[in-house]
A = this chain, B = another copy of it.
Amino acid sequence: MKRLDTSAPAFAAEFAALLDTARETTSRVDAAVAAIIAEVRARGDAALLDCTARFDGWTPADAAALRVTEAEIAAATAGIPAELLAALDLAAERIERFHAAQKPADLALPDPAGLTLGMRWNALDAVGLYVPGGKASYPSSVLMNAIPARVAGVARIAMAVPCPGGVLNPLVLAAARRAGVTEVYRIGGAQAVAALAWGTASIAPVDRIVGPGNAYVAEAKRQVFGRVGIDSIAGPSEVVVLADATNDPRHVAVDLLAQAEHDESAQAILITEDAGFADAVAAAVEAELKVLPRGAIAGESWRRHGAVILVRDWAEAFALVNRLAPEHLQLMLPDPRAALAEVRHAGAAFLGRYCPEALGDYVAGPNHVLPTGRTARFASGLSVFDFLKRTTWVEASAEGLAAIGPAAVALAEAEGLQAHARSVALRLPG
């Protein structure tokens, strides 16, 4: 863990180094992924069967066996404790309510020249949702990716989840059912992305693919981009906590570690104005690391990428937050709403001392798929907007065209586009 102090002479250089540290090593899998995509495009379902045997360690009987049936979902989810299903349901309800509130309205604007200008939002027809297999197969991510699509009005939500050894995660299936996923396929990797983008005899193509995955999945999404839309490629997770000395140091310590336990590349940063409080949090982190089941991972993240930054005042802290543009931001200050007003760049903010970021990971309602690695400067979390697109429209009468058409003719001629000019001029009076 690094300690920085804004009053130290070396601060500017140290903070710049913190900003510039790449926390992720990227592996080059371009060629391998291109080969898999080419195989799926050429051989369709047969390629999916081969890839599944090769990479996932089980051999589907035929293409139909790639699809998870309703009966299989019912059987797999039958043993889930009622309390856990109720928690999933509460989360789903709250995520639905928040994302429904995001839905934008269409526009229809009469204008001074007598035209009408408008904008219509339409849902995508079909979306593919990639869900990682094994340990990183999180039911909460299924809710967060699928519910905004369903709320937007997407009719087909096709989920692909690799099943190493053929085994499915029951809670992931329960989340898929609750979220409104319409098709589940037990395929993964670049072959799943290729199948969703290009389609096979048994899997219809989608229009956009979302959801996290390993290096092969990320590269496959890059390669099919253009054929379909994709979401952004997420990097390691991060949190910045702004906390004054009235907070419980142990709460702050566990909040930092909740981020750090994701993986060794995660980053947790505390910003405070009180050196004694910073010491208390750092000590509490060490104590918690000793009892935390994922302490080895969290400890590695904290030592490599963790930081405590001491500021002279909160204005300084807000300026640092805007340069960090963190994925998650906890504002544990007396007036968190006033603090939020100073923040221009953050994926999601958590206000007050009773609002740990983990609440947002599961049940608060806003999405937990958020921009990482300073991309909150220009990117946003997943939302209904990812599953909607706009058609703008113009309606003109003869009078409306007469009012603004001559300007179009002048500009088209200046650009040397005579057919453009003529298509307007032919319709002008006289």
Interface residues of A (CB under 8 A from B): 83-84, 86-88, 90-91, 94, 97-98, 101-102, 104, 107, 109, 111, 113, 115, 117, 119-120, 122, 124-125, 135, 138-140, 171, 207-208, 226, 228-229, 233, 248, 250-251, 254-255, 257-258, 260-262, 288, 292-294, 298, 336-337, 340, 343-367, 371, 373, 375-381, 383, 385, 389-398, 400-401, 404-408, 410-412, 414-424, 426-427
Known: A109-B98, A407-B90, A408-B363. A352 touches B396 (CB 8 A): yes
Contact yes or no, B418 A355, CB < 8 A: no
The answer to whether B420 touches A122 (Cβ under 8 A) is: no
Provide the bound-state CA to CA distance between A262 and B139, in Å.
49
Q: Which residues of B contact A107 (CB under 8 A)?
A: 101-102
How far apart sit A414 and B84, CA to CA, in the bound complex (Å)?
8
Q: Assess the A419–B378 pair: CB atoms within 8 A.
A: no
Q: Is the CB of A226 within 8 A of B375?
A: yes
Q: Identify the closest chain B residue to A361 (Cβ).
A: B420
Instruction: Please state if A389 and B412 are interface contacts (CB–CB under 8 Å).
Output: no
Cβ contacts A to B, 17 pairs, < 8 Å: A87-B407, A98-B109, A102-B119, A115-B364, A119-B366, A124-B377, A125-B344, A138-B415, A139-B411, A207-B377, A258-B422, A258-B423, A345-B389, A355-B396, A360-B394, A361-B408, A383-B390
What chain B residues lie within 8 Å of A83 (beta carbons)?
A: 410
| Contact in complex: B229, A362 (CB < 8 Å) | no
Q: Across the interface, name the chain B residue whose C-beta is closest to A368.
A: B392
CA distance A343 to B121 in the complex (A): 11
Residue of B nearest to A232 (CB): B226
Q: Are B363 and A411 in contact (CB under 8 A)?
A: yes
Asked, given contacts A117-B364, A125-B344, A255-B423, whether A352 binds B407 with beta carbons under 8 Å apart, the answer is no
Complex interface: chain B residues within 8 A of A139 (CB): 411, 414-415
User: Please, how many angstroms separate the alpha-carbon atoms of A171 and B412 in the complex?
Assistant: 12
Set B86, B348, B378, B423: member contacting A357, Cβ < 8 A: B423
Partner of A233, one of B122, B226, B292: B226
Residues on B with C-beta less than 8 A from A84 are 410-411, 414
| A390 and B380 contact, CB distance less than 8 A | yes
Asked whether B87 lies within 8 Å of A401 as measured between CB atoms, the reply is no
CB-based nearest B residue for A331: B393
Q: Which residues of B contact A412 (CB under 8 A)?
A: 358, 361-362
Q: Please give, as numbers and ranges, the residues of chain B lying within 8 Å of A408 by CB-CB distance.
A: 87, 91, 358-359, 361-363
| Residues in chain B near residue A113, CB distance under 8 A | 94
Q: Is the CB of A376 within 8 A of B401?
A: no
Contacts of A377 in B (CB 8 A): 124-125, 207, 389
Structural contact, B90 and A404, CB atoms closer than 8 A: yes
Interface pairs A-B: 10 shortest CB-CB? A366-B392, A229-B378, A87-B407, A351-B395, A358-B420, A355-B396, A356-B423, A87-B410, A349-B393, A380-B390
CB within 8 A of A94: which of B344, B348, B404? B404
CB proximity of A151 to chain B, nearest CB, Å: 14
Query: Closest Cβ of chain B: how far from A197's Cβ, in Å?
Result: 11
> Are A348 and B391 within 8 A (Cβ)?
yes
Given A117-B364, A381-B392, output 14 extra A-B contacts at Cβ < 8 Å. Answer: A90-B404, A97-B111, A98-B392, A101-B117, A115-B364, A229-B379, A258-B423, A261-B417, A294-B419, A347-B392, A357-B423, A358-B408, A363-B405, A364-B404
Q: Is the CB of B260 within 8 A of A419?
A: yes
Bound complex: CA A373 to CA B408 (Å): 26
Report B-chain residues with C-beta under 8 Å of the C-beta of A423. 251, 254-255, 257-258, 356-358
CB contact between A407 and one of B261, B363, B373 (< 8 Å): that residue: B363
- By beta carbon, the residue of chain B nearest A366 is B392
Q: Which residue of B lies closest to A250 (CB)?
A: B426
Beta-carbon contact of B407 and A340 below 8 Å: no
Task: Provide the bound-state CA to CA distance between A294 and B407, in Å.
Answer: 21
